[in-house]
A and B are shown apart, each in its own frame.
Chain A
Amino acid sequence: MTDLLAPFGEHAGFIAAAYAIAVMVIAGLIVWVRLDGAHQLRQLEDLERRGIRRQAGSADDMEDRRT
């Protein structure tokens, strides 16, 4: 690890920390949107399995029928 950072000189630790935190924050955002999306879809499928569907006549529903 020390060898890997050596080319970046005396401030290598600051550079490595900045990139590590950036990777963690971005990975966190990606995981959050993926898990949240999967959670919403699971709950929607669960409701539809119980026979609850989107309201007929809603704006979305009208659009669905048109397209």
Chain B
Amino acid sequence: MGVFDFANPTRFMNFSARVLPWLWGLAALVLAVGLYMAFFTAPQDYQQGNTVRIMFIHVPAAWLAMFAYALIATSSIGTLVWRHPLADVSARAAAPIGAAFTFLALVTGSLWGKPMWGTWWEWDARLTSVLILFLMYLGLIALWRAFDDPGRGARIVAVLALVGAVNLPIIKFSVDWWNTLHQPASVFRFDGPTIHPTILWPLLVMALGATLLFVALHIAAMRNEVLRRRLRSMQARAARSTIAARAVA
């Protein structure tokens, strides 16, 4: 059985039901180890002191904010090219989770910025482009909700989601293209990370834990969306049967 065989709603439901409890457990375990490292093994930063500990939630939240949108964009290609129902289910399930992680990145960034930069907010390229990402998530969620039939709205939302994906490289390279208060990339660089390993490892463990949590949340939300669509089609069928019965009577 190949990977694409799981792109069937029933197989996905069966497979995800088996995998999900393990994912929740693994995410909790890795996050617990990451939090221990963040508070008990990671030293203070020589410039930022203890506020560097905010980085252990801010950076994974920011990475996942972008990852979730990349997932929506990829799923949108599946909706537009193959019209696969699970692709739209995946995109729709990822949007509220992505919005929550983007909100978390913005708030924790603000809480880190106040003691370090002396301001809660600055209209610079990185902060503004992440705020736009948050607004795009809200826009996609609102547009999905505007259609009673998810099948009708899927292609329109997929086009909009793909157009919005242009914001992802802008967020990533905003710190290189414009003058900004935000520090440049310090982990994913061509010349290697610039963070000391005693701080880098807790960050990577927290990022892994947050990613596992995201995957568990996404799969659980996808299951809910599949159930919601089954429910909708059964309700429509029941309504049609009632109308037909009345017509015969």
Contact = CB atoms under 8 A, between A and B. Distances in A.
A36 to B, nearest CB: 5
B115 A11 contact: yes
Please tell me the size bucket of the interface on B: 35 or more
Interface string A24-58: 01101110111011001101100100101111001
A55 B223 CA distance: 19
Contacts of B107: 18, 21
Contacts of B96: 29, 32
B108 A40 contact: no
Interface string A1-36: 000000011011011011101100110111011101
B11 A40 contact: no
Interface string B41-55: 000000001110110
Q: Secondary structure at chain B's binding surface: helix, strand, loop or mixed? A: helix
Interface stretch (B130-138, B142-150, B161-169, B233-241): B233-241
Please tell me the size bucket of the interface on A: 35 or more
B175 interface: no
A47 B235 CA distance: 8
Interface string B77-108: 00000000000000000001100100110011
Contact of B234 (A17, A19, A41, A44): A44
B179 interface: no
Interface of A: 8-9, 11-12, 14-15, 17-19, 21-22, 25-26, 28-30, 32-34, 36-37, 40-41, 43-44, 47, 50, 52-55, 58-60, 63-64, 67
Given A11-B49, A14-B54, A32-B96, 15 more contacts: A8-B50, A9-B49, A11-B51, A14-B112, A14-B115, A15-B50, A21-B107, A22-B108, A25-B104, A26-B213, A29-B96, A37-B223, A50-B238, A52-B235, A55-B233
13 contacts: A14-B51, A14-B115, A18-B107, A19-B57, A21-B111, A29-B100, A33-B220, A40-B224, A41-B227, A47-B235, A54-B234, A55-B233, A60-B8
